[in-house]
Amino acid sequence: MGQKVTKAVFPVAGMGTRFLPATKSVPKEIMTLVDRPLIQYAIDEARAAGITEFIFVTSRGKGALEDYFDHAPQLEQELKNKNKTKLLEVLESTNMDSGAIAYIRQHKALGLGHAVWCARRLIGDEPFAVILPDDVIAAEKPCLQQMIEAYAETGGNMVAAMEVAPERTSSYGVLDIADDMGEMVKVRGMVEKPKAEDAPSNLAVIGRYILSPSVLQNLNNIKSGSGGEIQLTDAIARDIELSNNVYGYRFKGQRFDCGSKSGFLQATVAFGLAREELRDDLKGYLEDIMQAGI
Ligand code: G1P
């Protein structure tokens, strides 16, 4: 039912103030989990899901992000000369095809909905994915791929969803569930960052979306909402009124909120432990400090 999805939007215009002073000169998306920038995890996930066109919505001061995706011929040559094949492979695995990436500037920080709307001409009239690189998801099958498979059955709009503690709903878009089918829920409403007492459930939206182009049209008329910003959540909720075709997808995997320091540190530990060459050292250290009661 769902059309093929080949385009993904990566909203990366945020100033990353929570990570100051680091983000004074380094875009948040370039900050590294172990040895890969956050944005590389998002790109790898998109590629695994069959995405071939990558649209970055950027802002002033994000030049390092564009440079990161450039090929590095000199460095590649040097690694070749020194026979450093493994490193060369690592480097080459980050190379993007010419013309596969587009950058659009969001000139004002008017919210996530506005950022996605800025990409409307590049998206055109087809379904598209949105990936928020702050949400890093460790999963056997990458989250967006899980969603693309589910979307093949449903079409419409699909958002990644996860149960959160009721007192945390004010940090998320929250789903009002019409029909709970287990892995998938049919949604009858969505609220951006409700207080616990106003939340329709504790099923929260996580930063992976497959959206129909009608959401972009809805964004033409969405007024600023929660936090005074133009919210993507509101534009998706509008699609429920128009065509009643929004689903939440409970993905399999562990999500890290790399938009927060604590989440970033947790992800660093988890991804470090997942790396064979680091596991023993890191685990030994963690055991030691736990025992020492630090
Ligand atoms: C954004 C969305 C929110 C979603 C969240 C997931 O909020 O607006 O609906 O639940 O991402 O991380 P932000 O975290 O950018 O404030």
pLDDT for the residue 62: 87
Whole-number Å distance, alpha carbon 19 to ligand 1 midpoint, is 17
| Averaged pLDDT, 170-193 | 96
Name the nearest CA neighbour of 96 among 12, 39, 137: 39
Query: Is the per-residue pLDDT at 135 higher than 90?
Result: yes
pLDDT band at 72 (very low <50, low <70, confident <90, very high): confident
Choose which residue among 162, 205, 255 to substitute to test ligand 1 binding: the one with the highest number of ligand atoms within 8 A of its C-beta.
Answer: 205
d(CA 116, CA 219): 9
pLDDT band at 227 (very low <50, low <70, confident <90, very high): confident
pLDDT for the residue 218: 96
pLDDT band at 53 (very low <50, low <70, confident <90, very high): very high
- CB of 258 shorter than 6 A to ligand 1: no
pLDDT for the residue 97: 86
3-state secondary structure of 252: coil
d(CA 39, CA 254): 17
**What residue ranges define each of the domains in the chain, with the CATH number in brackets?**
7-159+205-213+239-259 (3.90.550.10)
Name the nearest CA neighbour of 130 among 238, 55, 199: 55
Q: pLDDT tens digit string along 241-277? A: 988 899 999 999 999 999 999 999 999 999 999 999 9
Residue recorded with tokens 């802002």:
59
What are 173's two structure tokens?
Answer: 């878009």
What's the whole-number average pLDDT of the chain? 94
- CB of 132 shorter than 6 A to ligand 1: yes
Highest mean pLDDT among 13-17, 206-210, 286-290: 206-210
Query: Is the per-residue pLDDT at 15 higher than 80?
Result: yes
pLDDT for the residue 277: 95
pLDDT for the residue 25: 86
Query: Is the per-residue pLDDT at 212 higher than 80?
Result: yes
